[in-house]
Amino acid sequence: MALRSEPTARQMRLAAELRRLRDAAGITGREAAASLGVSSAQISQIEKALAGVSEKRLRAMAANYACSDSELIDALVAMATDRTHGWWEEYQERLPTTYLDLAELEYHASHRWDVDFLHIPGLLQTEDYARALFSYVNAEFPLSEVDLRVEHRMKRRVIIERPDPIPYEAVIHEAALRIRVGDRSATRAQLARIQGLSEADHVTVRVIPFELDGFAGADSAMVYAGGPVPKLDTVVRDGPHGTAFIDAEAQLARFRTLFRRLESVSLDPERSRDFIHTLTKEL
């Protein structure tokens, strides 16, 4: 079987978890290969996501590494054997791979948390808002490229709009709600969409108001995607050098704590809806 030339983020996560299990067991790649009756190169290819791994081999690896976490093993097996062809695959070679990786991550997520301070979270954006945002950030792009990105972002909303939506929580700063990315009409429609979605049982929206004293967490924007087990959660953050997918257990614990801290200082869902309603009436 040919080696992968460009593994997806999901494939790389599986590979990283298998490497972590081996490291935790104190077993070298050579020893792991010998116990499975394969070459060291094959173990290396699996751990670099250049090659896949069967359920039988994965369970053998977990047994050799003395991993007794059956829920984690089952989740890794599901990742290794998943053959889903998602809607995002039609954008291969048309959009950056990060777009596809994020859509795939969301598709498999058990829940989703968003924190944003300057923009409305992507899953809550209207088409007009997304178009104004992409047009400004990518001013050099032709209209067709902007349309492609808007189309992709609108399709991502399916995870909170489908018949079996995932639980979704968003913490949004007042600044993001007030900044008019589009015109007055588009901003009003954007606020109305957030307010309407926040009334759904699976959606929770909280607002951090300007008037909050002692708030210094404006650099805490994140996308937090829950995995089938907490060890497989993922945090996505945009930075000056691109988008980072964060999955180290200590970092995940820190981001979980950070989200709950931000949640605790924000307005409760009912007051947040009232707050957004007041902003809408001001437009």
pLDDT digits over 153-210, tens only?
Answer: 999 999 999 999 999 999 999 999 999 999 999 999 999 999 999 999 999 999 999 9
pLDDT digits over 38-64, tens only?
Answer: 999 999 999 999 999 999 999 999 999
What's the CA gap between 91 and 125, in Å, rounded?
Answer: 20
In 3D space, the residue among 22, 4, 7 whose CA is nearest the CA of residue 60 turns out to be: 22
Given a contact cutoff of 8 angstroms between Cβ atoms, the answer to whether 174 and 210 are in contact is yes
Identify the structural domains of the chain with CATH numbers, from first to last. 9-81 (1.10.260.40), 88-124+157-282 (3.30.870.10)
Instruction: Read off φ and ψ for residue 169, nearest 5 degrees.
Output: -130, 135
Going by pLDDT thresholds of 50, 70 and 90, the confidence category of residue 281 is: very high
The pTM (predicted TM-score) of the whole model is 0.94
Confidence (pLDDT) at 241: 76
Amino acid, res. 83 = R
Going by pLDDT thresholds of 50, 70 and 90, the confidence category of residue 239 is: confident
Q: Which residues contact 252 (CB under 8 A, 6 or more apart)?
A: 230, 231, 233, 234, 235, 246
